[in-house]
Amino acid sequence: MDILSDTLAALRTGHPGAVRTQARAPWGLWFRPIAGAGFHVVVEGQCFLVPPSDGEPVRLGPGDVVFLRRGSGHTLCDDPASTRIEFVPDRVDTTSPIGSIDVPGTGPATVLLCGAYQLDVKRPHPFLTSLPDVIHLPAGPGRHPALRAATDQLCAEVREPRQGSDSVVATLIDLLLLYILRSWYDDQPRPQTLGWAAALTDPLLAPALKAMHEAPAQPWTVESLASRAGLSRAAFARRFTTVVGDPPLTYLTTWRMTMAARLLRESDEPLSSVAERTGYASEYAFAKAFKRHYDGAPGAYRKTFRV
């Protein structure tokens, strides 16, 4: 099982979108907070990213990619002193993942690709919380060729949409997220010893993590997971908690609830079936655990995605 892909699929709550943005100086665009994550690609020109809470501006150049894992409010601008307006894309077809915005001006032009992923952020998975708030991947000769290829293809489709572009763009945005994460992981000092990503390649923890993802309904115990790792119960619990940030059974509950939320969003399975598939002996026990995790009943959660 590809645990990273499996986790991303489970966290998605809607379809991604991308907006081709052209702005001439002086300009500033303020992006509202979103329930998910955002990204920006500098296609032409240069600009500044002003992070949440007006932190230190980050200079961005052609080919740079920025990922904001919490979808926090932020600003893109030609100069931190420029006047800011709200980022509101022009959309003729709201069912399309492709949008555009044009900010007029008299100065040099900057072309951006701005996108968003709708993710389950109400109870963040350790995958999200282990990432920095802002990931900046500067362009450079030979750096991240797969990411460069994906951004080039995505920019081409958004610039000149053709038949089938809606499907192509949605697929490329999903690929872009994987390539952003891969590129960030590749840039980290080796060896990585802490964080959810480190657990994916930890020879002792990865088998236990894989087991929980492949069979969340199994009645796993710390002992049975420790046997997958080839460690004693105490040594496994200590190592898992240190690396991942949560005790093994706490992580198991988080993953079960993540899977349950996905089933509620994407299927019409009865609650009894969702409970069984996520390791709960009864619908009542499942509903109690879900309400504790999401601050609401499973049925009410499902209804919010049926509007």
For the stretch 264-283, pLDDT in tens is 999 999 999 999 999 999 99
Q: Write the secondary structure of the chain as one string of H (helix), E (strand) and C (coil).
A: CCHHHHHHHHHECCCCEEEEEEEECCCEEEECCCCEEEEEEEEECCEEEECHHHCCCEEECCCCEEEECCCCCEEEECCCCCCCEECCCECCCCCCCEEEEEECCCCCEEEEEEEEEEECCCCCCHHHHCCCCEEEECCCCCCCHHHHHHHHHHHHHHHCCCCCHHHHHHHHHHHHHHHHHHHHHHHCCCCCCCCHHHHHHCCCCHHHHHHHHHCCCCCCCHHHHHHHHCCCHHHHHHHHHHHHCCCHHHHHHHHHHHHHHHHHHHCCCCHHHHHHHCCCCCHHHHHHHHHHHHCCCHHHHHHCCCC
Residue 293: which pLDDT band, with cuts at 50, 70 and 90?
A: very high
For the stretch 178-189, pLDDT in tens is 999 989 988 887
This prediction's pTM: 0.86
- Domains in the chain: ranges and CATH: 3-187 (2.60.120.280), 196-303 (1.10.10.60)
Mean pLDDT of the chain: 90
For the stretch 48-104, pLDDT in tens is 999 877 678 999 999 999 999 888 899 999 999 999 999 987 755 556 777 889 999
Residue 1 has pLDDT above 70, yes or no: no
